[in-house]
């Protein structure tokens, strides 16, 4: 920002709360969750949802596990009213779910809202009026504090009067001093206590005081101070669920909510993926999964986050950013080689720990760079490692292992990694798992020129322990030859056969093999490392249904790569 522009902004006042308690608290249980996707989220959409789309979203929210869902502002528009009636008349609200409707503290709107919820088993009537000095001055034309408080009281009284007119509906009452975040705390308290005085909640008939961070003007610690201060001063605190409703103007919706919970709040309003006015509402997925990552159950099921995201993106026509916590396309992807290496090590060690725990309590999660196991929210490991020219050697080996069943010897990783990164670099783009496999096949597997092997026969000399006679047909520079050699294993015998045919300049320095999982299912993979007389050392890989032939092909591959 231009320095001369900055002069028009002012610091935000701190809260005088020297004995604040929240910094020493930790979050150890989940709040009551309330989704406001169908109201705050919907009203912020360039193209609001149709009734059909809202129905689908409502069903999604119920399946996730929300027990309180703000379904709209029925007095504001016919679609909103009709949606509310549809849910009630078609009996679409599960028994354990309470719908919530929002209404301004204006008489005709409150009356219309009660018509909308008639017949519901249980409903939260949420009234609000704006209380901040800025709103009082600008929006309400210099209204006084008393005038604003009286608006809240009049609304609360009308609601109290209307509750008995819908006796079949259990009505839960909620009040929000909208723009709480920049309201003087003593005035926010005055409005809330005035409404509490009208509604007279009891421990059996609780009400909700929602304290909206309507616009984030300041840092999350100040929000937490505001919440703790209110929790200490509200009348009948034991009969009240204090609710948070953060937005994200400063990008701190999640932080403000978490600190607000530490400050004593009982309930959280927010939306999936943080959809909402301007920079959005609180992202409930974010906060709930943060809690899960600390071992706290939330009652919300995000175990198939990709499907939830797909419904969300379809019906809202919004998109989830690639770096969005937990849900973004790239958040479980590591391009950097050192990260890939550490993740691979962490995942391997975890497998080992699980085997060692053998059915005992789940070992603590501890994989570098991954705060949670992506599989727990329906993300696959497939996406974890992606290869571009910035990646390191471990990543390629990881993909070949996880995706295609190749357990490459450690000392082969640099050789393969370099070749494949060079390819990514040359193509100037990322390579996917199948392209990596194809490149591995092309460069390192069953390479049969200039030398090839077409068949072989092994005779094991049982009298001489481990001695093997190898007779093979090789093709060298297009010419077929029969070769024979004796050794202490098939590979060694074949090397001697090659030496007998005059191909003498290499020696075997390492070897390993394994059954290939995935793919055809019946193949074996073998890896042979050869050292050339000039000092160069290279690995080759062979794949064949016969493990012995796989070994010979691996040797031939390494031999060819050394040419
Ligand atoms: O952000 C806000 O203040 C609101 C209120 C109406 C609760 O959405
Ligand atoms: Zn809001």
Beta carbons of 249 and 216 less than 8 angstroms apart: yes
* CA–CA separation, 438 and 445 (whole Å): 10
Per-residue pLDDT, 382: 54
Q: Is the CB of 178 under 6 A from ligand 1?
A: yes
List 512's β-bridge partners, or say none: 527
How far are the Cα atoms of 52, 87, 107, 191, 309 from residue 97, in angstroms, in the given order? Answer: 19, 12, 27, 29, 22
Rounded Cα distance, 251 and 280, in Å: 9
Ligand 2 mean position, distance from CA 267 (Å): 14
Give residue 179's pLDDT.
98
Does the pLDDT value for residue 241 go beyond 90?
yes
Confidence grade of residue 519 (pLDDT, cut at 50, 70, 90): low
Q: Using pLDDT thresholds of 50, 70 and 90, give the confidence band for residue 466.
A: confident
Mean pLDDT of 22-47: 98
pLDDT in tens, 63-93: 999 999 999 999 999 999 999 999 999 999 9
| Cα 51 from Cα 41, distance rounded (Å) | 14
Q: Are 61 and 299 in contact (CB under 8 A)?
A: no
- Average pLDDT for 446-470: 90
Alpha-carbon distance of 300 to 3, in angstroms, equals 46
pLDDT, position 333: 86
Mutate to test the pocket of ligand 1, among 135, 182, 214 (most ligand atoms within 8 A of CB): 214
Q: Are 420 and 440 contacting, i.e. CB atoms less than 8 angstroms apart?
A: yes
246 touches ligand 1 (CB under 6 Å): no
Euclidean distance between CA atoms 37 and 400, whole angstroms = 42
**Residues near 319 by beta carbon (within 8 Å), at least 6 away in sequence:** 313
Surrounding ion ligand 2 within 5 Å at CB are 40
Backbone angles phi, psi at 401, to 5 degrees: -75, -60
**Mean pLDDT in residue range 301-322:** 98
Task: Of 217-231, 285-299, 347-361, 367-381, give the lowest mean pLDDT range.
Answer: 347-361
Q: Which CATH superfamily does the domain covering 451-561 fall into?
A: Alpha-isopropylmalate synthase LeuA, regulatory domain (3.30.160.270)
Which three-class secondary structure state does DSSP give residue 434?
helix
Ligand 1: centre distance to CA 487 (Å) = 82
Q: Which residues pair with 104 in a beta bridge?
A: 128
> Residue 117's pLDDT is what?
98
Looking at the CA of residue 128, tell me the nearest atom of ligand 1: 6
* Residue 383 confidence (pLDDT) above 60: no
Report the nearest-CA residue for atom 8 of ligand 1: 40
CB of 104 closer than 6 angstroms to any ligand 1 atom: no
Sorted by where each begins, the domain ranges of the chain are 31-316, 337-442, 451-561
Ligand nearest to the CA of 214: 1
In the prediction, which pLDDT does 520 show?
Answer: 52
For residue 78, the CA-to-ligand 2 centroid distance in Å is: 21
> Per-residue pLDDT averaged across 507-536, rounded?
89
- DSSP E strands in 247-335: the ranges are 267-270
Is the backbone peptide bond immediately before 450 cis, with ω within 30 degrees of 0? yes
* Predicted pLDDT of residue 384: 58
pLDDT at 258 over 90: yes
Report the pLDDT averaged over residues 155-160: 98
Confidence bin at 474 (pLDDT 50/70/90): very high
Please give the average per-residue pLDDT across 165-191, as a whole number: 98
Mean pLDDT, rounded, for 86-101 = 98
Ligand 2 center to 245 CA (angstroms): 6
The more confident residue out of 431 and 26 is: 26
**pLDDT grade, residue 392 (50/70/90)?**
low
Q: Does domain 31-316 have CATH number 3.20.20.70?
A: yes
- Residue range 324-353, pLDDT digits in tens: 999 999 999 888 777 878 888 898 899 999
Q: What is the DSSP letter of 7?
A: T
pLDDT at position 310 over 80:
yes
Give the atom of ligand 1 at the shortest distance from the alpha carbon of 176.
Answer: 7
Ligand 1 atom index nearest CA of 277: 1
Cβ–ligand 1 distance for 201 under 6 Å, the answer no
Q: Are 560 and 449 in contact (CB under 8 A)?
A: yes
The residue whose CA is least distant from atom 3 of ligand 1 is: 214
Q: At what angle do helices 107-117 and 145-162 cross, to 10 degrees?
A: 30
Closest ligand to the CA of 211: 1
Angle at 536 between CA 532 and CA 538, to 5 degrees: 90
CA of 102 to the centre of ligand 1 (A): 9
**SS3 at position 382:** helix
Average pLDDT, the chain: 94
pLDDT in tens, 291-301: 999 999 999 99
For the Cβ of 180 lying below 6 angstroms from any atom of ligand 1, the answer is no
Asked whether the CA dihedral 350, 351, 356, 359 is positive or negative, the reply is: positive
Q: What was the pLDDT predicted at 429?
A: 85
pLDDT for 488: 92
Does pLDDT of 218 surpass 60? yes
Hey, what CATH topology would domain 337-442 get? Answer: Helix Hairpins (1.10.287)
State the pLDDT at residue 6: 96
Q: Is 40 in the pocket of ligand 1 (CB under 6 A)?
A: yes
User: For position 431, what pLDDT does the model report?
Assistant: 87
Q: Which of 138-152, 221-235, 390-404 has the lowest mean pLDDT?
A: 390-404
Tokens of 373: 């196991």
| Residue 461: per-residue pLDDT | 86
Closest CA to 72 of 53, 91, 94: 53
pLDDT at 402: 81
With 90 as the cut, is the pLDDT of residue 371 above it?
yes
Q: What are the pLDDT digits (tens) for 526-536?
A: 999 999 999 99
Which atom of ligand 1 is least distant from the CA of 178?
Answer: 3
């Amino acid at each position: 920002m231009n320095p001369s522009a900055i002069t028009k902004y002012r610091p935000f006042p701190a809260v005088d709360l020297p004995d604040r308690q929240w910094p020493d608290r930790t979050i150890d249980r989940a709040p009551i969750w309330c989704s406001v996707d169908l109201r705050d989220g919907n009203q912020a959409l360039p193209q609001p949802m149709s009734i059909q789309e809202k129905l689908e979203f409502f069903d999604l929210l119920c399946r996730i596990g929300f027990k309180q869902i703000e379904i709209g502002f029925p007095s504001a528009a016919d679609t909103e009213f009709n949606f509310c009636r549809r849910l009630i008349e078609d009996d679409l609200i599960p028994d354990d779910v309470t719908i919530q409707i929002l209404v301004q503290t204006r008489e005709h709107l409150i009356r219309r809202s009660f018509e909308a919820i008639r017949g519901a088993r249980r409903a939260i009537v949420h009234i609000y009026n704006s209380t901040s000095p800025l709103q009082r001055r600008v929006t309400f034309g210099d209204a006084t504090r008393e005038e604003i408080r009286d608006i809240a009281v009049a609304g609360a009284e009308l609601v109290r009067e209307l509750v008995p007119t819908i006796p079949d509906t259990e009505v839960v009452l909620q009040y929000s001093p909208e723009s709480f975040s920049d309201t003087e705390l003593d005035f926010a308290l005055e409005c809330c206590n005035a409404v509490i005085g009208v509604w007279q909640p009891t421990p059996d008939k609780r009400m909700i005081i929602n304290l909206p961070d309507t616009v984030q003007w300041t840092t999350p610690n100040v929000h937490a101070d505001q919440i703790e201060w209110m929790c200490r001063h509200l009348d009948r605190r034991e009969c009240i669920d204090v609710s948070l409703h953060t937005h994200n103007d400063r990008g701190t919706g999640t932080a403000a909510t978490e600190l607000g919970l530490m400050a004593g709040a009982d309930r959280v309003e927010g939306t999936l993926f943080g959809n909402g006015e301007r920079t959005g509402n609180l992202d409930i997925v974010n906060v709930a999964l943060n809690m899960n990552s600390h071992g706290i159950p939330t009652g919300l099921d995000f175990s198939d986050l990709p499907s939830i995201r797909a419904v969300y993106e379809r019906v809202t026509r919004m998109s989830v950013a690639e770096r969005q916590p937990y849900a973004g396309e790239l958040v479980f992807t590591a391009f950097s080689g050192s990260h890939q290496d550490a993740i691979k090590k962490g995942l391997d060690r975890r497998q080992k720990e699980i085997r060692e725990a053998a059915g005992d309590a789940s070992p603590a999660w501890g994989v570098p760079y991954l705060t949670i196991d992506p599989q727990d929210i329906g993300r696959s490991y497939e996406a974890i490692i992606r290869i571009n020219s910035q990646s390191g050697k471990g990543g390629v080996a990881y993909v070949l292992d996880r995706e295609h069943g190749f357990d490459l010897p450690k000392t082969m990783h640099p050789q393969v990694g370099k070749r494949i990164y060079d390819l990514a670099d040359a193509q100037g783009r990322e390579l996917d798992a199948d392209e990596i496999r194809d490149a591995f096949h092309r460069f390192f597997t069953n390479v049969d020129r200039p030398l090839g092997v077409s068949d072989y026969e092994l005779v094991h000399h049982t009298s001489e322990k481990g001695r093997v006679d190898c007779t093979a047909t090789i093709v060298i520079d297009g010419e077929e030859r029969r070769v024979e050699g004796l050794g202490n294993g098939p590979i060694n015998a074949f090397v001697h056969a090659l030496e007998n045919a005059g191909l003498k300049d290499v020696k075997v320095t390492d070897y390993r093999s394994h059954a290939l999982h995935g793919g055809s299912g019946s193949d074996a993979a073998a890896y042979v490392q050869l050292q050339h007389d000039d000092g160069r050392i290279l690995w080759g890989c062979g794949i064949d249904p016969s493990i012995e032939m796989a070994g010979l092909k691996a040797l031939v591959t390494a031999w060819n790569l050394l040419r």
